[in-house]
Amino acid sequence: MSTPQPNTHSPTRVRSDLGRRFADIPVSDYVRDFVSLILFGVSLTAPLSGSSDGVVAGRESAFFVLALLAPAFVLSLPYLGRLGLLPGGWTVFRTRLVRRVAAIPFCGLVGWAVVDALISDSPVALGSAYLFGAAAVALSAQTRESELGPGAQDLGPRKASFVAVVGGLVTVAVLALVTAVFYLTSSLATAQAVVYSLALIIGVIVSLFAIVAVVVTGGAGWRRTVITLSVGWLILVHFANPATNLLPALVEASSTPRVWIVPLSQLLSASFVLVPALGALVASPAFRDRAQVVRGPGVGFDHIRTLLVTAFVWAVAYLATYAIVFSVDRELLGPGHAAGELIQVVVGTCVIAGAAWLGASHVARHPALSRPGGVLACLAIVGGGLLVMNSASLGAGSSLGHFTIVLIIPVAIAVVMVSDVTIRELARTASQVRPVNPHTYEWSERAVVTRQPAVQDSPPHNSVGTTSVMPTMPVQQDSQPVTDAGDQRRPQTGDTQSLSREEVLAVAHTGGQGHSYTREQALNPATDPVVLAHIAEVSPELRPALAENPATYDALLTWLAGIGDPEIDAALERRKQKP
């Protein structure tokens, strides 16, 4: 009697086989395909172009729909291949090639639309359908995670992604220059043509600043910032209201510019429609492999820092553009312009720039305390941004640049602070060692408060990241505190773990005037432990040297490790590696 064979067509076996076929597709590939499909759908319903005859939607143009069909169909190739529905001999290399070829018709359509708008005698505005369509095509054309081979053996997609981003940057720059030339050679007055051209160039520079930074530095933080800005712009533009002109539903690309100009509104050039597409290219897995440089404790800190730097650049560029318009032809700012608007712009941009610069510096120097500094910087940026937004000229409305600074950047920073695991862990550690003064909320009469001696006025112990902190040393039962500034009695310091807190503070307060500590002192094992403690308090730049000193006592090492400074952490690692 023969042994029964398994049923190869049973539903359970079929499901198991399908599961194995699709097991190598990571979640990120599904997310890219899903987002791309959504963008394709939005582009068909968004405005395609506008003129005096009205607005045309994307689905109303046969050329636009046909240009999107091939990139949309390409999304199904990985799934058709795993289902066995592609021709024999089909490989992943052919799928990657088809992805890129399918994007060519849409690129040609965008180029033709831009040229036609620029040479048109009547004002023509490119709609946001091109913006969403370009981002969708860029997502469809990029090589998926499951289609990448080992880095050393499959360099093609990585090089191609880098070339595509650089080519996109060059294309946007050329479009901006061509548009500026049209302004300068049009029938506009010379002053107006110069103002429009300069405002356009500055706006494009700000739009591409983060993308250029990630290409040059290869930083993972800059890559995340580019993705953040691109996603934020797509969401905001989707909810644009052409009637109130709050956001750029239509991007003017004709040689006849707007009647009123809002600095950095990014409404003056067709080049803006390509910025989210560049963000989609930067988000590709192939480009990600080129952007793995992480400075500091983690990429989350780098992301926050780069967002703040972007806010700083935006504020400086906005002020520069406004100053140009105000000095050359202030009538372009719109009706109702007054000195109050100028004051709001100056104050608002200075607040944004100052808060962003200080916040970025604080995050870079004190990652463990990045949450409080980041929150304060965000609040100041929002306040300054509201001042600038309130100064927008009548009839011109608020621009995408305004919403970027008031909404996108603060929300992105808040999300990173909450979601990043490294930031949460460091914030929790800092909160555990941060001192709590129980007398802060206790009421007492001012008249009966007496000033304590200098020893009692010492700052709280074990605070993280402050320059006025003395490390806590173990208190011995037989130690005698020094209460007299002139009393030099204390035990010998040969035992580096036997010093009491009072002894350390007494020596620090009596001998800390006019100090000039050197790196040699901080590294010298013969330096008095009390002096090492005082160096840690008053000389932050010497703390990495203290971490390497073999005579540094355990309590001070523990305190140094809790600061969260990358240089100190590196010194502690080197200390562990020494025999």
Tell me if 78 sits within 8 A of 146, measured CB to CB. yes
Q: What is the pLDDT of residues 338-359, one digit of tens each?
A: 667 778 889 999 999 999 999 9
Give me the phi and psi of 345, to 5 degrees please: -65, -45
Predicted pLDDT of residue 333: 63
What is the distance between the alpha carbons of residues 88 and 98, in angstroms, rounded to a whole number?
16
| Long-range contacts of the stretch 236-239 (C-beta < 8 A, 24+) | 236/400, 236/403, 236/407, 236/408, 237/128, 237/131, 237/132, 237/400, 238/42, 238/46, 238/128, 238/132
Identity of the highest mean pLDDT range in 240-254, 343-357, 498-512: 343-357
Q: Give the lowest-confidence range in 48-62, 152-166, 468-482, 557-571.
A: 468-482
Q: What is the pLDDT of residues 87-118, one digit of tens each?
A: 888 899 999 999 999 999 999 998 888 777 66
What is the distance between the alpha carbons of residues 352 and 61, in angstroms, rounded to a whole number?
43
Identity of the highest mean pLDDT range in 412-416, 437-441, 473-477: 412-416
Confidence check: pLDDT of 447 > 60:
no
What is the distance between the alpha carbons of residues 563 and 547, in angstroms, rounded to a whole number?
12
Averaged confidence pLDDT in the chain: 75
CA 204 to chain centre: 18
Q: What is the pLDDT of residues 515-532, one digit of tens each?
A: 577 888 888 888 877 778
Predicted pLDDT of residue 439: 60
Confidence check: pLDDT of 223 > 80:
yes
Give me the phi and psi of 465, to 5 degrees please: 80, 5
For residues 425 and 305, which has the higher predicted lDDT (pLDDT)? 305
Residue that has been written with the tokens 């009839």 in this structure = 395
Q: Residue by residue, what is the 3-state secondary structure of 509-565?
A: HHHCCCCCCCHHHHHCCCCCHHHHHHHHHHCHHHHHHHHHCCCCCHHHHHHHHCCCC
Predicted pLDDT of residue 72: 95
Residues 278-302, mean pLDDT to the nearest whole number: 77
Tokens of 116: 């036609």
What is the distance between the alpha carbons of residues 514 and 501, in angstroms, rounded to a whole number?
22
Between the two ends of the chain, the Cα-to-Cα distance in Å is: 73
Residues facing residue 51 across a β-bridge:
54
Predicted pLDDT of residue 437: 58
Predicted pLDDT of residue 421: 81
Predicted pLDDT of residue 434: 54
For residues 573 and 308, which has the higher predicted lDDT (pLDDT)? 308
407: left (phi over 0), alpha (psi -120 to 50) or beta: alpha
Alpha helices in 120-189 (DSSP H): 128-141, 156-185
Tell me if 135 sits within 8 A of 251, measured CB to CB. no
Q: What is the pLDDT of residues 7-22, one digit of tens each?
A: 555 566 556 677 777 8
Q: Smallest Cα–Cα separation from 230: which of 164, 177, 275, 173?
A: 275
What is the distance between the alpha carbons of residues 447 and 85, in angstroms, rounded to a whole number?
89
Residue 307's pLDDT band, with cuts at 50, 70 and 90, is: very high
Strand ranges across the sheet with 125-127: 54-57, 47-51, 125-127, 250-252
Q: Give the lowest-confidence range in 321-330, 416-425, 492-501.
A: 492-501
**DSSP labels, 138-153:** HHHHSPPGGG---TTT
Predicted pLDDT of residue 355: 95
- pTM confidence score: 0.69
For residues 506 and 86, which has the higher predicted lDDT (pLDDT)? 86
- CB-count exposure of residue 40 (10 Å: 0-12, 13-18, 19+): buried
Predicted pLDDT of residue 252: 47
Residues facing residue 293 across a β-bridge:
219
**DSSP labels, 323-362:** HHHHHHHGGGG-TT--HHHHHHHHHHHHHHHHHHHHHHHH
> Is the CA virtual torsion 323, 319, 197, 269 positive or negative?
negative
Residue that has been written with the tokens 């291949």 in this structure = 81
Q: Residue by residue, what is the 3-state secondary structure of 248-299?
A: CCEEECCCCCCCCCCCCCCCCCHHHHHHHHHHHHHCCHHHHCCCCECCCCCH
